[in-house]
Amino acid sequence: MNLKTKLKNIKTRFKAASKAFLNPVPTLKPTVFVKTLEPSVVLDNQLLAGKNALITGAGRNIGRSIAIEMAKQGANIFFTDIDIELCSHLEKELSIYPVKVRGFVSDISKSEDIDSLYSILSQENIAIDILVNNVGIQFETIAINNLNLGEWQKTFQTNIFGPMYLTKLISQIMMSHSIEGSIIFMTSVHQKEVIRWLSYSSSKAALGMIIKELAVDLAPHKIRVNGIAPAWVAEDEQGYSLFHNYHLLHHSSINPCYIGRAAVYLTSDYFSKFTTGTILKIDAGVSLYNYRVAQDPPQ
């Protein structure tokens, strides 16, 4: 082989090596194909189109706002409340949206009510894509000297045991229908911040770990589990927020619609397909407030 041929071969190999370096051929193929939503879906405000959402305690405040915001995004709304009048009113309120709406008078703290709800859903082949465990109760007991075991049992039955039993049944529906579902627990900023309501804050702290454990447990089934931790959520009859000195941002209560929109975010595949085990804190900065902030407030 003459020198000219050798140089030509070297040049060819160098060119091939350079091409491989700059444009490597992948040796591993992706094992999972993740379907993404097109921006037009978001622009059309149909982030939850065709999904069936079950929201507990939806008669007022946070639960009502979640139902409204999800209906705006095309979700069919199934909801519970213990007040028949609130159920009827919300059904009428949601009737302006082109979605299915149905309320159930149900007490989530009672296993027999949950069984009845599950039976109706099963018999009517209503497969739930989204479960929002919103229902909750609080007792403002401050001191250990006032400990009331009945109060603790009612708090944990309503805030934890009932929602967990419902979550078990709904997650079974999701798994049996191969639904890549989404589950939300409404916890509180007081799962970490002291409020001096012993049973309430303790129950919310328990939910914080339940969210993480369930996120791991249900991940193989592509079911996401997340939480929302609000501070004081309230507004007057005209829809205006109320003054709150310790909410550093805006110095006001949080309008419930912002919790509803956060629920849409967490249940939308477009935004949160890879989000699980997350607790979204919406507290207007109240958890940042301490004695040093009080001594040297921002100007």
Q: Following DSSP, what letter does each residue of 256-277 receive, concatenated?
A: HHHHHHHHHHHH-HHHHTT--S
Euclidean distance between CA atoms 2 and 22, whole angstroms: 31
Edge-to-edge order in the sheet of strand 101-105: 101-105, 76-81, 52-55, 130-133, 182-186, 224-230, 279-282
Residue 200 annotated as catalytic:
yes
Of residues 125, 117, 132, 126, the one with CA closest to residue 71: 132
Euclidean distance between CA atoms 45 and 246, whole angstroms: 34
Please state the length of the chain. 299
Tokens of 37: 């939503």
In angstroms, what CA-CA distances link 228 with 151, 264, 272, 280? 24, 11, 14, 5
What is the three-class DSSP state of 65? helix
CB atoms within 10 A of CB 222: 14
Q: Which member of 165, 200, 258, 289 is catalytic? A: 200
Owner of token pair 């921006």: 39
Q: Which residues pair with 272 in a beta bridge?
A: none
Residues acting as catalytic residues: 200
